[in-house]
Every structure is written in structure tokens, then in C-alpha cells.
Structure 1
């Protein structure tokens, strides 16, 4: 009996020591992150102007610079005549955020039906008065805390970023709303016109109607006028336990025979995603992944680093983006398939949050995405297995200490 008590005491002390080390590591990373952000130079990175590609009955325009995107989004809102659906994860109260707020107010004042969704958790640091809206706008604040009655099914954040105007144009991708993202972040967004606008509109309507009530009536929900085989919209819906974006990625990676080009802000793959990427590389597919050298979440960076050895050992090539935060969530495979959206390669996005991704089967879009990948690659440093293995023991120890947190992100 005494021996068992001693063993229990030893185990508890070991667990406390481990927890203390993990806590100290997280605090240390936070201090480094604050110092790093204060010393960060203005962002400079190469970019391409927006260009359009016709796909079936739709037109796809790809944006890689925030100012270009925001100008077209604001122009679309200002020309709206019937309705605007606006949904964002982060909405800053700076000049860009105020411009969007004013454009939405003006649209509502001239009789346009304006529907707004934003995530409360993502905007905790934004002054609450910024989110005061007049009563003639329809607003849903994705709640900070899920309903205790459905805590698992309601716990996902609303990580989507989309805009639909008058059945005429739809925008979706990685860009949040704020001045920082306009010039200092490298992100990717798409505009759709034509047949596919309905699909993005329907994604907003379905989300809105999930939470309809007497104060927030449901929106009319009509069937699709056209089925488009070359472009699809995939939506993660935690309320319904539906997560198709992960399956989309796994299926596309499994089909790859020549090359896979991924650009992601946060690379923390689960076992299946890691296996799919390494299997592809081992069968001779040219797998290349661009990730930030330093992202806006230093802990996510260190959790991601725990996968570098497995990826590099399998032949996956990793490229670290320099001089700016790359926040894109894109991929293109074999000159045929591409995706642009809001989902990162991590568990929060693929098995947790409300997300939306565009999937395109078109060589023209793939060529454009490959050109963007090439331009971005010119602003990277390739990380080799040899250089990665030379990192110091303290860094390796810190990565190991944080490894238990990987399944949480």
C-alpha cells in the first residue's frame, strides 16, 4: 500500500514538472513573439495583379494583395441593389474595417437587405462599440460560448470569410477585414461571377438558417438553377458534424501523379493528412509546401515544426516565406485541380470550425495558381533535412515539450 502511494506521488510530481516546463516554454515563446513583432520591419513581398479565368458558366478572379481585393469588394457593396451577405472571422475597427462598415450601412440606408455575420471570439480585442449596428441591418454574432445543450456540435468558430452581392458576385478566401491585411499579409481570395454565385450564396443562407429564430427569421432557400461539375463549394458545418474539406484534400492528394503545391499559414496535419503527403512524395510526386518563416501565432509555428522531420525525410520540400505573414489556404495539383478557401491544414479547421473552400477542376485556374506559387517561391528559403537536423538541442527539447498540444490545434 505504501509503495503504491509513493508511486502515485512520484507520478503526480513528474506530471507537475512536465506541466511547469510546458508553461514556461509557452511563456517564453510569448515573450519572444512580443519582442519579434515590435522589431518587425514593414512587409515587402512580390505579388501578381488580380486576373480572371472563365470556367464553364462562371468567372474566377484570384487576388493575392489585400488592397486590390478590398477595392473590388467595397465597389460591389456600393453597387448593391437588392441584398448583401457579409461574413468574416476578424473585423478590425481600423480604417479598412470602418470603410466596410460604412459601405454596409449605406447599402442598408438605400433599401438593400444587408446580412452580417462575424465571430465574437476572434474580435475580443476590437472595441465593442464598433459592433453596434442599426436595427435595419440583420446581424448574427457567432457566439463566444457554445450552447451547453450542444457544446460539441456548437463549439466551432466561424472561420469563414465571404461576401455575396445581388446574385452578381461572390468573394471567398483567407482575407479577414483590416488594414494590416491590406498591405502587410500575403493571402489569397477568389471572386466568382456567373453560375457559381448561387453556391456561395447558398452557403451563407444555410449557415444563417441553422440559427434562425423569431428575432432572426430564416432566409428563403431555393434549389440550384444549374449544376456545375467543374467548380464546387465545400463547407464544414460543425452543427451537423459535416467536414468535407478534409476529405476533399485527402482525395485530391491521393490522386496526384506529378506535383502538389500547397501554401498554408498553419501546417499541423493529422495522421491521415501527414500519411497522404508523405505517401505522395515517396511515390515520386513533387510535393512542395510554402509556410511562413514566422507566422502571427508563434505557438502554432512550433507545433508545426514537430512535423518537419517526417515530411522532409519522406521527400516533401518545405519553403519558408520571408518578410511577411503568408496567410493563404490554397493548393494546386497536377495542373488540373485547385482549391482556395478558409481552411488551414490543422484540426481546428478540418475537424472543428465552420469553413468554406472553393474546389476547381480547370487547367486555366491551375496554371494561374502555379504561377502564384512560383512567385511566392521566389520569396522563400528552402528548408533541407540537413539544415533542419542542425538546429540546437534546446530547440528540439522545446518542440518535444509542446508536442502534446498538437492534437488540440
Structure 2
């Protein structure tokens, strides 16, 4: 038995070594041929911020980073009571410095400022930049945990959320991290909520803060409950500490309801078998299923893992649209002109069953219409991958798709 176990362990080790070698070669080759000049000007189709009402609240959608950053900074400058800001990535460039100056200025005038950032995602950011002064409470979500040795999911989730709430009256959520390149060079989507429904984002921030306050040695926040109920809009939140992952179920439920069209935009599309099967069933019953992804994202590994699904998708009637001008980082979907979601979760294992994430779900035709308009605008900068083109890919590509399959559970 010990001999068989030893052989089995060596097979596993050799397999993963092979994966690492092949992955390194593939990533090097692909990156060499697809890397773009990051200093070059980027042009891509965007829309002016567009708004609609949901009950007593106003929902605004942004497709251009500078627009959403201008709006966020204006709200921080006008804050009178509190600023709650949570960002997966907060770069120490000129935009990051501007956000830092404004939150410090808000704290100096007596505003209660609470900040959250993910330590792992910001490991390369200088330590000096992460000092915000004694008036601001900062929660640094853990960089590394020994729980990884026993795969304790409750303890391992990265904080991938991007939330800003000001005075409980206005909030922002979506795919935009804080960084100058995102302002003009990436295509992403963010939502602004003004009015009573801001509670959805404030409550999400408060719950996360209080769940980690004792360990991080910060003061907890009041949790007064909601004064307003609006069933058309809900913030769905993944919380590994509670083993709660409702965003995945949200997608499955919405896809199963589809009758006419499903339009999904994803930075990294690595669906599990249930989500892929649901999309294939929808396409099989005549739904126009379109998945828009970057042709070459900023994560070559994710691109290769995603490609392993293309044969089944195309053969099953799912249309794949490659976004051409730049990196598209949005995590959005709209179905049948009735349902829409904007948030931080990618359709991959890390987002759907691993990270702290938040997606706003809206069941309202006017908001879905805005999302449809954004999707169609993005489609003007895509090319569609055909089954004929895909079937002619080379042997190296086919081999890479297969050999990387074991990495899906960790991506």
C-alpha cells in the first residue's frame, strides 16, 4: 500500500510540475505576441453616465473610469458624516494619491472615515502609501493565512469588493479598482445608487467591517437595520466566513428564467459545470446567449483556462464575442430586458465560491434597458469567434487547454 501511495504521490507531483512548465512556456509565448504598449493611448466606445429611477432611488451606470472617479471624489469632498471606502486594489499613482488626499481631508474636518483594502492585492504598493494618519480607521484584509495548508475556505477569501458609501445617501459599486490606468485605458462598469437603496451597500460594508473588527483591532460600526424595503434591488454578497455564496445561485436562477436573450460581460469567464450547463440549456431552448470577454486579458492564465470551454459553448449555440480595443474588466449581465446585475464577481471559482464579492441584482425593466444599451455599445468593438475558426486552432493550443484543466479549482 505504501508503494502504491508513493507512486500516486509522484504521479501527482510530476503532473503539476508538467503543468507549471507548460504554463510558463505558454504564458511567455502568448504574452510576447499579445502584450500591448501600456503607455499608448487607448480608444474604445463608451457612453455618458445614464440614470433611471427604482422607487425613490436613482441608479446611474458608468462605462468610463474617469467619469466614475470624478463622481466618487466629488461625493467624498462633500461628505459630512461618514465615508466608507473598500477597494481590492488601491494603486499609489496620481489617482490613488488624489483619493488618499481627499479621505484624509474628510477625516480632518470631522468625517468618520473607514477604509478597507486587500493586503495581498496591494503587496507591491509601498508601505508609506498605506499610512492614512491617526484620524482614519483602516482595515487591512489579511495577506496570508496558514489555514491554506488545510484549505479552510472560511479563512482564505480575498476581499475582492469595491464599495464607496458616503453619508448613507449615495453609494458606488462595480468593477473599478482605484488606479490611473483604469480611468482611461480599461473598459469597466460601475453603478451609483442615490437614495434609500444606498442602504444595500452601506449594510454590506458594515457587515464585513464588523465581522473582522475584533481581529483587526478596529471599532465596530452601528448596525441599525433597514428603514426601507425595495424588492426590485438587492445586494448579493459572498461571505466565505459564513460559507455563504449567493451570487452563484443568483446567476443560476436568472439563467433558468431566460426566454429571449442572455448578455454576459466578463473579464475572466471560467464557469463551473452547473453554470455552463444552464447556459447551454438556455441556448438549446432558443435563447440568444452571448458572452463578451476580452480577446486578450491582463491574465494570460485565465484566458487559457477559459478557452477550454469554447468548443462546448460554440457547439451548443453560445456566441462568444471578443472585445478588441482594450481590457474589458466588467462583471455584468442582463436577461430578457427585465433582469440585470453589476458587481465585482467574475464567473469563476475564486469569485463565486472563494472571495468576498458583491453584485447588485436589479429586476426592473428600465435598468435592464440601460444594461442592454451598454452591451450593444460594447458589441460595436467586438469580433465574434466562430466554430469554424475555433476548430482550426493549432495542436499547441489544444494541448494547453487540456493540461491546464487541473488548475480550474484554484482560478
Structure 1 residues 10 and 144 mapped into 2: Cα distance closer, same or farther (>3 Å)? closer
Is residue 2:272 matched to residue 1:275?
no
Match of 1:18 in 2: 15
CA drift of 1:399 comes to 1.1
Tell me what 1:31 maps to: 28
Instruction: Assess if the C-alpha contact under 8 Å between 2:259 and 2:287 holds in 1.
Output: yes
Question: Cα deviation per residue 1:10-56 (whole Å; 9 max; x = unaligned)?
Answer: 76775555334312222123424653435465322100010110111
Matches within 5 A, 1:45-60: 45-60=44-59
Residue 262 of structure 1 corresponds to 264
Structure 2 equivalent of residue 308 of structure 1: 310
Higher mean Cα deviation, 65-74 or 145-154? 145-154
**TM-score (structure 2 length as normaliser):** 0.95
* C-alpha spacing 1:116/1:338, structure 2 compared with 1 (3 Å): same
Shift of 1:135: 1.2
Q: Deviations over 1:152-196 (max 9, x none)?
A: 212100000010001221000000000010011000000001111
Equivalent residue runs for 1:78-93 within 5 Å: 78-93=77-92
Secondary structure, counterpart of 1:290 in structure 2: strand
- TM-score, length basis structure 1: 0.95
Q: Are the counterparts in 2 of residues 270 and 407 from structure 1 also a CA contact under 8 Å?
A: no
Q: 2:314·2:386 contact (CA, 8 Å) conserved in 1?
A: yes
Question: Residue in 2 aligned with 1:143?
Answer: 142
1:280-338 C-alpha deviation (Å, 9 max, x unpaired): 00011110010010001000000000011111111000000002000000000000000
1:160-199 matches, within 5 Å, as: 160-199=161-200
Rounded to whole Å, the distance in 2 between the matches of 1:12 and 1:237 is: 34
In structure 2, relative to structure 1, the CA distance for the partners of 1:356 and 1:13 (3 Å cut) is closer
Deviations 1:114-140 (A, max 9, x none): 000000000111112110121110110
Tell me, in whole angstroms, the C-alpha distance in 2 between the residues paired with 1:159 and 1:230.
Answer: 25
CA distance in 2, matches of 1:134, 1:12: 51
Partner of 1:332: 334
The CA distance in 2 between the partners of 1:144 and 1:256, in whole Å, is 40
SS of equivalent to 1:170: strand
Distance 2:164 2:30 in 1: 32
Between the aligned partners of 1:14 and 1:223, the Cα distance in structure 2 is 54
Counting matched residue pairs gives 406
1:157 corresponds to: 158
Is 2:93 the counterpart of 1:94? yes
